[in-house]
Amino acid sequence: MRLSARSWLILACVIVLVVIVATDQIVPPTTEYQSQMRLWLSARATGITAFLLLTVLVGLGLILSHPVNQSTWKLSKRIFPWHENLFVFVVAFVLVHAVSLAVDSYAGVGFEGLLVPGLSDFRRIPVALGSVALYALILTALTARYTHLLPTGWWLKLHRVSLAVFLLSWVHGILSGTDSNQLRPLYIGCGLVVLAAASYRYAAGRKRRSSFSSALDDPIAGVTPGGTPRPGLPPGGAP
């Protein structure tokens, strides 16, 4: 039986997690320093991977919500499965990143610093931003999963928190990483990509609202700014 793209992504995610967990058995450390650094390198590698995947996830979300996609592109059927599966990847790598830091006694984060913003001994504010980003990510996930429990219109408002998740993660990565100077081009590039996509999405949304407002105030349309038919014209406007 052929696997769908979603199944391949989930399978790949599981394989990656198994390899990370089994690393000590596959390639045992030869020195104590190597054993200590393995957790730190695991945290950095999974953190960077999660950030890159989050960049793609947010970009796909902006495409899905773009007005042109709804009217012209019509890419939702193709993009949404990838958007959904990428979220699984992001959560998986974020969890491995967070747990690796928490169990690494040399990192100075601990489970207290992970769960409670501000209790980390290592770069307190940047790590706190990462913890807040994690909670915001969970919020967007739960509200996307249980939209039927929310009042009308609230799901979209809460889902826009994903942009805040990206911003917090971006600042967290730059300020907390010990190799941020070497990775600065990566952070700048990802930031510009999301900024450009968000700006394009926002400009298109404003243009659409502006066009709709102009149509309501158009005498030919036969509608007043309040949305009521103009006197002397049928409800449908000019013939």
Cβ atoms 74, 23 nearer than 8 A: no
Report which of 177, 181, 171, 189 is spatially closest to residue 52, judged by C-alpha positions.
189
Condensed to tens digits (0 to 9), the pLDDT of residues 195-223 reads: 999 999 888 878 776 654 444 444 444 44
Given a cut of 60, is residue 234 above it in pLDDT? no
Q: What is the mean pLDDT of the chain?
A: 80
In Å, how far are 67, 69, 138, 197, 218 from 131, measured between CA atoms? 33, 33, 11, 25, 50
Taking the C-alpha atoms of residue 111 and residue 176, their distance in angstroms, rounded to an integer, is 17
Given a cut of 50, is residue 228 above it in pLDDT? no
pTM of the model: 0.77
Residue type, 157: K
Average pLDDT in the 16-42 region? 69
Domain ranges (residues) in the chain: 35-219
DSSP state of 221: G
Taking the C-alpha atoms of residue 194 and residue 205, their distance in angstroms, rounded to an integer, is 16
208 three-state secondary structure:
helix
